[in-house]
Structure 1
Amino acid sequence: MKKIILTIALLCVSLLFTGCPSQQAWLTKQPPMYAKGFTDGCESAERFWQNNLADYKVVDPEAKNDPQYKEGWQYGYNKCYAEKETEIWMTRGRF
């Protein structure tokens, strides 16, 4: 049952991104602070996985209190974290 649920979840995630514009094209349409936050959040998630789950965050000290930066950072972190987690699970054959 667990495998079925995970397989369905993976299919839904992959369908979510099918037909979507590229991430870079999408970012160019966002406010600059949101795009900066998204990029920093995504980089933080990638470093998290690369450093054996060490909590490493990339945050622009001048922008960290900007609401658009915070929102972009959180979205970027969550998106890239989930993508990397899915990649790891699929590589290990645990679906």
Structure 2
Amino acid sequence: MWRWMVVGAWLLLAGCASTHDTMVQQGYPPAFADGFQDGCGSGRQAAGSITGQFTKNVPRYLKDKQYSTGWDDGFRQCQASVQNHNNDDWATQHGDDRERAWQQQKTQGEGRAYHP
């Protein structure tokens, strides 16, 4: 359930304004929002998403505390979001395999019980 809320929030952010613009409107410093946007794309890319691109303004990261904090936050949050999505997909796929194996085992057991 919470996953759909996160996806909905991202769609709202992406639908009307960029993440950067939305964060600035919510009162975040522009440097933090710049870093968050760069870090988020980098985190998605690091987690294996095709929608992310690694972006890091290294000189700014080293000199601007707000940019570096935003970059770190964006990286961690977006990387975790993609990894959670990937883990859910894996669990669904392998859960289905286990369900099929259990159903097959149950059917075979019934067959042996009815036809000794």
**TM tier relative to shorter chain:** 0.5 to 0.7
Which shows bigger deviation, 60-69 or 25-34?
25-34
Structure-1-length-normalised TM-score = 0.63
Percent identity among equivalent residues? Answer: 22
1:1-95 to 2 correspondences below 5 Å: 14=3, 17=6, 22-23=12-13, 24=19, 26-29=22-25, 30-50=28-48, 57-64=54-61, 65-93=63-91
State the secondary structure of the residue aligned to 2:47: helix
Deviation at 1:59, TM superposition (A): 1.1
Q: Residues of 2 paired with 1:39 and 1:20: CA distance?
A: 15
RMSD: 3.1
Letter in 1 for 2:79: Y
Structure-2-length-normalised TM-score = 0.54
Query: Do the aligned partners of 1:34 and 1:71 also contact (CA within 8 Å) in 2?
Result: yes
How many residue pairs get aligned? The number is 80
Letter in 1 for 2:38: D
Q: Residues of 1 paired with 2:44 and 2:7: CA distance?
A: 22
Cα deviations by residue, 1:20-74 (Å, 9 ceiling, x for unpaired): 68443642332111011001111111111238xxxx9521134212010011011
- Bigger helix share: 2
Q: Residues of 2 paired with 1:66 and 1:37: CA distance?
A: 10
State the secondary structure of the residue aligned to 2:58: coil
Q: Residues of 1 paired with 2:22 and 2:35: CA distance?
A: 14
